[in-house]
Amino acid sequence: MSAAQYARLVSRKYRGPKLPKINRPRRPRLLAWAGPAAFYPNRFYEQDKWYKARIDKPDLIPQLHIIDPTLYGESLAEYLQKEKVEPTNIGFAKKDEKRIPKISSDTQLEKLSRTKKLRIDMSRVGEADQRVIAHFGVFEHLFNDNVYFDRTQNFEVSFGDHGVHTGNILWAEDTKKSPQVSIESVGADGFNTIVAVNLDGNASEQSGEILHWLVANIPDGKSVSEGEEKAKWIQALPFLGTGFHRLTFLLLRHSEKIDVTDFNSDLGSRVFSTAQFYKKHEEKVTPSALNFANVAYDVSVKEALHAENLQSPLYEYEWNERMKRDQKEFPLKPMPFDLYFDQFRDPKDVQADLLRERFKKVSIDDVTPPKFLDDNYVENKKKLDAWNHAKLLEKNKPDSPVYNNSLKY
């Protein structure tokens, strides 16, 4: 209503001090900018049309890749109905050991331990070793499924002060020199053969293990030097990024000599199949003992490969691409823009920047964080941007990634 219309309808003495307010339907600003297309009921479902309205595009949750287990394996009911195969013992019969009576009283146990008269049931120790060997899949990868043998002969392997037992951890540098071996004599005419293989070190397309040592036809009760060294010792070579490698020493006993071919020292000709070797001499040899260790990578692996004019491979795990939302100028959840942009950078570049910062902080004399987060707080607060100053304070914190494991680098 205009002022003239109001003056004609209402006399002066009844007029208010101001024009009356009339409730009108407010015209939305959205219509002025986007036009009537902004009010379409299905505007969000039209591809590439969401920008017509000043309304954020709805965040679509990515669909997960669901694997149908029926296509890749048997069901639980089928697995339970499957006939279980009894494992086959390919070794000697287990020795009859005298069972040690159980000790019921803790006081008696303490007394025997203090007087050094406490006896350990070695048969129970052997059962524990068998479970460890089976857990690491050594029998399965050496021979075949559902195959095992009991340890019936004492067999000790060591690299100086570092012994090879049942899955203990060694560094590759510890295995540079050939091992010292002690074999129990069974008091009969016969021979022993030692086969040392790496179950996880074969990087070629040919199937099998890497043969590290093979000494055949060792007379019973004699040292290893009396045997025939068919393959000279080469140190364990767990490649960088491949984790622990199972270095396995297998002892085979036989009553007569076996014919074994010689192996070259180069790594390419050391691909060896223990299962085929055992199958070939199955009528003569019988496994009697086994020891293995988990060997980890160190610099000696690179040096050994370079000495053979071979390159040292590097294996990296290929991670799936990180799921992230599309980059937006104004994200729904505000955050510092340097952290926001780091999500879309190559992770290697981010790690490289962090490593450079660590190198700056590393010092021989002092690697401790500074006493204050910012010695020149007032000036930096004025000069630096807010995000840059916050980044400076974050880097100087004692628990910052810049100082974590700084000595390691």
- What tens digit of pLDDT does each residue of 26-84 get? 555 444 445 555 555 544 444 444 444 444 555 555 566 666 666 666 777 877 787 77
Question: What is the reported pLDDT for 236?
Answer: 94
Same domain as 386, residue 329: yes
Same domain as 300, residue 329: no
Q: Is residue 134 part of a domain?
A: no
SS3 179: coil
pLDDT band at 155 (very low <50, low <70, confident <90, very high): very high
Q: Is residue 141 part of a domain?
A: no
Q: What is the mean pLDDT of the chain?
A: 79
Q: Which one of 280, 307, 334 terminates a domain? A: 307
Number of domains in the chain: 3
Same domain as 172, residue 293: yes
Same domain as 238, residue 282: yes
Q: Is residue 119 part of a domain?
A: no
Mean pLDDT, to the nearest integer, of 125-149?
A: 84
Same domain as 300, residue 161: yes
Question: What is the reported pLDDT for 238?
Answer: 94
Q: Is residue 266 part of a domain?
A: yes
Are residues 229 and 275 in contact, defined by beta-carbon separation less than 8 angstroms?
no
In angstroms, the CA 371 to CA 378 distance is 17
Q: Is residue 195 part of a domain?
A: yes
Question: What is the reported pLDDT for 46?
Answer: 46
Q: Is residue 6 part of a domain?
A: no
The per-residue pLDDT for range 217-256, each reduced to its tens digit, is 999 989 999 999 999 999 999 999 899 999 999 999 999 9
- CA 134 vs CA 128, 144, 251, 273: distances in Å: 10, 12, 17, 19
In angstroms, the CA 201 to CA 239 distance is 8
Q: Which one of 267, 282, 307 terminates a domain? A: 307
Which range among 72-76, 157-161, 179-183, 370-374 shows the weakest confidence by mean pLDDT? 72-76
pLDDT band at 172 (very low <50, low <70, confident <90, very high): very high
Taking only Cα atoms into account, the Rg of the chain, rounded to an integer number of angstroms, comes to: 38
Same domain as 339, residue 271: no
Same domain as 302, residue 328: no
Same domain as 341, residue 302: no
Same domain as 359, residue 303: no
Question: What is the reported pLDDT for 369?
Answer: 66
Question: What is the reported pLDDT for 409?
Answer: 31
Q: Is residue 96 part of a domain?
A: no
Same domain as 282, residue 158: yes
Q: Which one of 307, 331, 347 terminates a domain? A: 307
What CATH number has the domain bearing residue 253?
3.90.280.10
Instruction: Name the residue range of residue 34's domain.
Output: 25-58
Are residues 65 and 86 in contact, defined by beta-carbon separation less than 8 angstroms?
no
Are residues 188 and 324 in contact, defined by beta-carbon separation less than 8 angstroms?
no
Same domain as 274, residue 232: yes
Q: Is residue 267 part of a domain?
A: yes
Mean pLDDT, to the nearest integer, of 247-276?
A: 91
Question: What is the reported pLDDT for 192?
Answer: 94
The per-residue pLDDT for range 304-344, each reduced to its tens digit, is 999 988 888 888 877 777 777 777 777 777 777 777 788 88
Which range among 103-107, 124-128, 255-259, 334-338 shows the weakest confidence by mean pLDDT? 124-128
Residue 274, phi then psi, degrees to nearest 5: -65, -35
Threshold 0.75, pTM exceeds: no
Same domain as 163, residue 291: yes
Q: What is the dihedral of CA 128, 137, 190, 159, to 10 degrees?
A: -80
Where would I find the H helices in 295-336? 299-307
Are residues 185 and 221 in contact, defined by beta-carbon separation less than 8 angstroms?
yes
